[in-house]
Amino acid sequence: MQKTHGLNELPFLDFHPDQFGQLSMADYSWYKYGYGEGYEEGKTKRTDELKKKAKNAGYKYGLSNEDIWTPNNYMSNTSVKEAYELGFREGRVKAVEKLKKASEDDGFKAGYNLIPLTIPDDLPKVYEASFRNGYENGYKAKIKDAFQEGYMIHYNSLEYDPNTYLKYPDIQQSYKEGYEMPDKYQKIAFEIGSKNEALIVPNEIRENDYLLEMFYTHYQKGKDAWHQKKELYNTIFYITVLTLIIVGYFLYQRFKSKKL
């Protein structure tokens, strides 16, 4: 009697005692049990190998983003067929993710380069949302970089053109704010120093060496102005006191001479 295949796809032989006359019934029972266990173990291992191979094949085919197709050599075994289909679904998910990412990247480039939003004619509808999302993110990134661009114009002492990005008010505003940012912090630093207050560096400029140096410089200028102002007040005070003393002395002398 033959049964299904084992590890090497050989038929399973159902042994009988008369074929092993040299074995006692007890020995034969153990032999038959061990043979059967080994056969089933080999069969399971063989099936697992086929399932792994089928899943990998399904995954690779799923990456092609084609409709599902199961080869005939995976159809005869249900578990192997299911492994192939599972791999295909995982591959299809990965393929869709890649296409969504590619669509989003294309949208980002278009938004960043200020190209009018137009969905490509050959782009499937399922990826339109990804393209639009990428476009919005690209436009936002452009706004952020325009701020840095304006800042670098100031940093390099280049001429500022207020008409830059004229067609894009939000980007133009960011560009302007970037250019004016150093002046803003110059005023803040000078004001703190001119009041002789402790130096507190704003968090947003702690990582910017150029702004930090500028901030310290104008803080010190403010401190110098405070000291000059203090010295002026002291000078005025001393002159006033000295004047009062002198005037008082002369008045006293006049009063004293009249009494004599």
Q: How confident is the model at residue 4 (pLDDT cuts 50, 70, 90)?
A: very low
Rounded to an integer, the average pLDDT of 53-72 is: 77
101 belongs to a structural domain: no
CA angle, 185 as apex, 179 and 187 as ends, to 5°? 110
Question: CB neighbours of 56 closer than 8 A, spacing ≥ 6?
Answer: 87
Q: How far is CA 77 from CA 54, 84, 167, 174, 218, in A?
A: 11, 11, 65, 64, 80
235 belongs to a structural domain: yes
Q: How confident is the model at residue 13 (pLDDT cuts 50, 70, 90)?
A: very low
Q: How confident is the model at residue 6 (pLDDT cuts 50, 70, 90)?
A: very low
Domain that holds residue 222: 160-260
Q: How far is CA 28 from CA 15, 16, 21, in A?
A: 9, 9, 9
Residue 185, pLDDT above cutoff 60: yes
**Which comes out higher in pLDDT, residue 133 or 197?**
133
Residue 38, pLDDT above cutoff 70: no
185 belongs to a structural domain: yes
248 belongs to a structural domain: yes
Determine the straight-line distance between the first and last CA of the chain, rounded to whole angstroms. Answer: 157
82-117 pLDDT, tens digit per residue, is: 888 888 888 888 888 888 999 999 999 999 999 999
CA 255, distance to chain mean position in Å, is 87
Looking at the chain, the whole-number percentage of residues with pLDDT higher than 90 is 23
Structure tokens at 44: 């399971």
Q: In total, how many domains does the chain have? A: 1
On the CB side of 151, CA atoms within 13 Å amount to 16
Mean pLDDT of the chain: 79
76 belongs to a structural domain: no
pLDDT of residue 135: 97
CA distance 74 to 80: 6
pLDDT of residue 51: 80
Rounded to an integer, the average pLDDT of 153-173 is: 92
150 belongs to a structural domain: no
217 belongs to a structural domain: yes
Residue 201, pLDDT above cutoff 70: yes
90 belongs to a structural domain: no
